[in-house]
A and B are shown apart, each in its own frame.
Chain A
């Protein structure tokens, strides 16, 4: 079991070494960085046994570390995505400043996330949680320009969550006298009702912030878009999942014991649904790919929250499967944006167009990721969506399913916007020099894209670990044997046999593609995108006709009333109000010695007057 120690030592030592190795040469730095992440990852999967726990007592507090099946499932996201993103980072960070800073925080984030998963007690959970928060905060301000104080906003929201969690932790401690999660769960049913309600609320606040749940999501667009893309893929793909991880634990272990738990579930599920819908609408509005993906992440996390909140087995499976999928496709998409940013220097749809022929592999990964995101068969995204719908319908959430459907359909708009904005449209002279991204960046993207395709036909690869994890959480699995690698089942007994179905899709598609390509593609001539019919005129060389400004405006006009109010503004107003109140209070300190002397006497008089009450 000492392997776990060793892994954390590798992470910590690797982080520090990488930070200082920059002075010796960037190649060495890259090697140490990769060796740290990949070494720790392989050591984790080779040397750490599931359900093997160890304890130690720093500062008189018993801490227990070890991993169970549920944590193991999430470790796949963290370490899998983390490793690929690490490889990607090496290419992405080439020639950039502050590499040591980046690598240091990258490693610490991965370490912290793994730490969260192995923590079996609340204190180490909290410690790792906070390390995760500040290392990601440092990433958000990596660029050194914290416009509009995005980093600060992120940190404040994280801190609200963290303090809520800390409060819950000490409340639990005052009852159980230990910090072990197991003891908390055991003691929970015996607590008083108000505590039974408050403790989950406090925990869910913390997890809701990280999972970017409405109305705690306002930090996410800024934070996701301003940290370096190589990190954002982990930030959005894996780090947000820690919120989901915690949420599932709380939902399953606490709320299911609570008679009022239904209200928690419904509220959470609806919040998830609203997050999905509004996140989608805001994503459509964005002209910057980073912002678009950031809002899309919020929306996707909304689906996941809805899935896990409804709490039936199908719902949890759907939510967790979507979580894995989201890590894959959003990780890929942020990497795509990073590649484009690196090659062109901008991520704005109104500036860069027509990259499809210049960056074909990037396009390929983006295409598969978008298909998965949109939930279109035959990629894995559909499996998750299907299970989510079935779970919602079979658990009688009829209006919620409409909301989710609305969100998923509207998501097509931003999916198209993403693909169209970057890769389609007219090819401009300005971007003629653009080349495909280096191999270290392309390979991770393509690998993830292919894995998504595999999951579309064989979702059992992920469903089985999910099921193990749920059993570990004490969830009674009634028909888990039916979760074959290629069959999906809902509780009404409808089943989707994915293999033959999807084979046929693929077969038909390949048939059409081959027939058409065989006959036509070689025989036809490529003409540039300037050679088009445009009201009878042919656009000139420097006329860019690409439709990118005001994209999907009619739709936005139609949903205008919903988007009129931004919750962000309320927060800002609230904060401003607080600050003016503080300013008012600050004036108690007048700077005048006489007033201070008067304060002393007033204090004495008041205390003397009320001495019988006070003492």
Chain B
């Protein structure tokens, strides 16, 4: 044990507050410190995850009050796995945007890294916390930093996108608060394990209404259709790495929250089918919208929404295979979609409208970036032998085991749409016949290139040797499925 879960929240939060101060000492520190913090957290996360795999979850009590009264953090195989992905992704985002100073001044860079640290703090907090009100606080932290990041390019469009995000975010907060109030008024507790333990005593109507409010609130953050109106705008107006952060970190945290509510806290069986329904709706509508997009980032945004829909469907199967598939999807989505956002933002770097139509013949001008984009596209479609294949296979296997043939064929149909729009982009990259784009290309900086290569390497590694992750995934999904163990672990901490 090299540290405790609380460090995941304390350190980045502290770093976020210190960044402006450090910047006064030496401007470069603004960019170095987040990296150091994230490297440390990654080491810590991997170590803890390793420990958790063998010894079971770590429950940490904050401020000396034992649950159910106090706040506790739970670092189980499930939440720990997600935290590790998030921090890893955060590190890559930091690495990718490290040298952005060249064209972005000191002030914006300071804000950027500050907000990024806050975002990571909030998201990690959502995953680790064992208290619903505490989760609300973290959601607010995440939200506020996300609004800020969306408006990073100070312009009319980003302000508008940020405002939409903010507006829907406030609605989400309202519903979340309402839901928490209902729970508290009924059960008088805010601790998840305690609620889960006593949820059967609750009045079913109240229970379901609070569940609906939870799903609505978290669904806004998790980009569930039709609550995801903010997402395409926010993704396309925010800088490329922020898009990756939304897709890889924020949305994952929100999906985690939904899953935690449905799997652990509530005992409503219909919720699983509801997950499948809204997941499918999200998936289908998002992919159908994606195929008609003209801007690259919007396309990636819709695709990201669709992937999250698929994750929800996989969770909705409610079986261990389903959870396994969903986690695998989340992992792959984090890796692949980040690669797509990273390489994609270089492909349309100098273009004003960021149109797909402007990407003709870039394969010649930016060979490595284009290759990595193509690799990412192939992987996210689910072509073997790349990473995406295994997750797609596990989703389908899980569906088949539940005998949901119709869902399966819908998923495959939607995959076809996905394939079409990704290949259209790849085709353009390598199409020399049509007039090549006249826009001057921007060569990726060395750190960005390293980031992308790392991600590309991971895609190949998982593709060829899925065993690197399957062990963790199995443990993590088992941890989520075992509800009574969770309750027992948390509530027995005060004895």
Residues of A within 8 A of B (CB): 58-60, 123, 126-127, 130-131, 133-134, 141, 144-147, 149, 151-152, 155-156, 159-160, 163-164, 166-167, 170-171, 173-174, 579, 581-583, 585-586, 588-591, 593, 595-597, 599-600, 602-604, 607-608, 611, 614-615
- Given A146-B427, A163-B416, A585-B289, does the pair A600, B383 have CB atoms closer than 8 Å? no
- Given A134-B378, A159-B416, A166-B393, does the pair A586, B292 have CB atoms closer than 8 Å? yes
Within the complex, the shortest CB–CB distance from A12 to chain B, in Å, comes to 10
* A60/B289 in contact, CB under 8 A: no
How many angstroms from the CA of A537 to the CA of B232 in the assembled complex?
74
Q: 1/0 contact trace for B362-397 toward A, CB 8 Å?
A: 000000000000000010010111000110110011
* A615/B271 in contact, CB under 8 A: yes
- Given A126-B384, A151-B427, does the pair A171, B400 have CB atoms closer than 8 Å? yes
- Given A159-B416, A603-B227, does the pair A615, B393 have CB atoms closer than 8 Å? no
Query: Which residues from A are CB-within-8-Å of B446?
Result: none
- A141 CB contact (under 8 Å) in B226, B399, B409, B430: B430
Asked if B251 is an interface residue, CB under 8 A from chain A, the answer is no
* B229/A595 in contact, CB under 8 A: yes
* B431/A144 in contact, CB under 8 A: yes
* A134/B383 in contact, CB under 8 A: yes
Query: Which residues from B are CB-within-8-Å of A589?
Result: 229, 232, 289
- Given A163-B415, A167-B396, A170-B400, does the pair A130, B274 have CB atoms closer than 8 Å? no
A-B contact pairs, 25 of them (CB 8 A): A59-B390, A130-B389, A131-B385, A134-B383, A141-B430, A145-B432, A145-B433, A155-B423, A156-B419, A156-B420, A160-B416, A171-B400, A579-B291, A581-B288, A582-B417, A585-B288, A588-B289, A590-B229, A596-B167, A597-B171, A600-B216, A600-B227, A602-B226, A603-B227, A615-B274
How many angstroms from the CA of A164 to the CA of B408 in the assembled complex?
10
Query: Which residues from A are CB-within-8-Å of B163?
Result: 593
How many angstroms from the CA of A607 to the CA of B408 in the assembled complex?
25
* A167/B291 in contact, CB under 8 A: no
How many angstroms from the CA of A204 to the CA of B154 in the assembled complex?
56
How many angstroms from the CA of A144 to the CA of B429 in the assembled complex?
9
By beta carbon, the residue of chain A nearest B175 is A604
Query: Which residues from A are CB-within-8-Å of B164?
Result: 593, 596
- Given A166-B393, A600-B168, A615-B274, does the pair A145, B431 have CB atoms closer than 8 Å? yes
Query: Which residues from A are CB-within-8-Å of B424?
Result: 152
Query: Which residues from B are CB-within-8-Å of A58?
Result: 465-467
Asked if B209 is an interface residue, CB under 8 A from chain A, the answer is yes
How many angstroms from the CA of A586 to the CA of B225 in the assembled complex?
12
Query: Which residues from B are CB-within-8-Å of A596?
Result: 164, 167-168, 229-230
Within the complex, the shortest CB–CB distance from B477 to chain A, in Å, comes to 13
How many angstroms from the CA of A579 to the CA of B219 in the assembled complex?
28
Within the complex, the shortest CB–CB distance from A358 to chain B, in Å, comes to 31
- B227 CB contact (under 8 Å) in A147, A151, A163, A599: A599
Q: In residues 438-466 of chain B, which contact A (Cβ within 8 Å)?
A: 465-466
How many angstroms from the CA of A57 to the CA of B397 in the assembled complex?
17
Asked if B482 is an interface residue, CB under 8 A from chain A, the answer is no
Interface of B is mostly: helix
Within the complex, the shortest CB–CB distance from A514 to chain B, in Å, comes to 54
7 closest Cβ contacts across the A-B interface? A596-B229, A145-B433, A615-B270, A59-B466, A144-B432, A174-B400, A127-B384
Interface of A is mostly: helix
How many angstroms from the CA of A611 to the CA of B207 in the assembled complex?
11
How many angstroms from the CA of A126 to the CA of B393 in the assembled complex?
11
By beta carbon, the residue of chain A nearest B428 is A146
- Given A146-B433, A582-B291, A597-B167, does the pair A604, B233 have CB atoms closer than 8 Å? no
By beta carbon, the residue of chain B nearest A604 is B216
Query: Which residues from A are CB-within-8-Å of B288?
Result: 581-582, 585-586
* B401/A174 in contact, CB under 8 A: yes
- Given A152-B427, A167-B396, A579-B291, does the pair A585, B433 have CB atoms closer than 8 Å? no
How many angstroms from the CA of A151 to the CA of B423 in the assembled complex?
9
Within the complex, the shortest CB–CB distance from A155 to chain B, in Å, comes to 6
How many angstroms from the CA of A123 to the CA of B463 in the assembled complex?
13
By beta carbon, the residue of chain A nearest B270 is A615
By beta carbon, the residue of chain A nearest B404 is A174
Asked if B485 is an interface residue, CB under 8 A from chain A, the answer is no
* A174/B403 in contact, CB under 8 A: yes
- B412 CB contact (under 8 Å) in A133, A166, A611: A166
Q: In residues 261-293 of chain B, which contact A (Cβ within 8 Å)?
A: 268-271, 273-274, 277, 285, 288-289, 291-293
How many angstroms from the CA of A58 to the CA of B293 in the assembled complex?
38
- Quick one: which of B171, B285, B420, B424 has the most chain A CB within 10 A? B420
- A167 CB contact (under 8 Å) in B273, B408, B470: B408
- B273 CB contact (under 8 Å) in A166, A170, A591, A614: A614
- Given A130-B389, A144-B432, A597-B171, does the pair A59, B289 have CB atoms closer than 8 Å? no
Asked if B49 is an interface residue, CB under 8 A from chain A, the answer is no
Asked if B135 is an interface residue, CB under 8 A from chain A, the answer is no
Query: Which residues from A are CB-within-8-Å of B396?
Result: 166-167, 170
How many angstroms from the CA of A582 to the CA of B288 in the assembled complex?
5
* A171/B212 in contact, CB under 8 A: no
Within the complex, the shortest CB–CB distance from A161 to chain B, in Å, comes to 11
* B175/A152 in contact, CB under 8 A: no
- Quick one: which of A166, A173, A608 has the most chain B CB within 10 A? A166
Asked if B132 is an interface residue, CB under 8 A from chain A, the answer is no
- A144 CB contact (under 8 Å) in B385, B403, B430: B430
Query: Which residues from B are CB-within-8-Å of A166?
Result: 392-393, 396, 412
Q: In residues 213-254 of chain B, which contact A (Cβ within 8 Å)?
A: 213, 215-216, 219-220, 226-227, 229-230, 232-233
* A604/B212 in contact, CB under 8 A: yes
By beta carbon, the residue of chain A nearest B273 is A614
Asked if B405 is an interface residue, CB under 8 A from chain A, the answer is yes
* A591/B292 in contact, CB under 8 A: no
Query: Which residues from B are CB-within-8-Å of A604?
Result: 175, 212-213, 216
Query: Which residues from A are CB-within-8-Å of B37?
Result: none
Within the complex, the shortest CB–CB distance from B282 to chain A, in Å, comes to 12
Asked if B41 is an interface residue, CB under 8 A from chain A, the answer is no
* A123/B393 in contact, CB under 8 A: yes
By beta carbon, the residue of chain B nearest A615 is B270
Asked if B144 is an interface residue, CB under 8 A from chain A, the answer is no
Within the complex, the shortest CB–CB distance from B444 to chain A, in Å, comes to 21
Query: Which residues from A are CB-within-8-Å of B390?
Result: 59
How many angstroms from the CA of A608 to the CA of B274 in the assembled complex?
13
Query: Which residues from B are CB-within-8-Å of A583?
Result: 292
By beta carbon, the residue of chain B nearest A599 is B226
Asked if B6 is an interface residue, CB under 8 A from chain A, the answer is no
Q: In residues 109-160 of chain B, which contact A (Cβ within 8 Å)?
A: 160
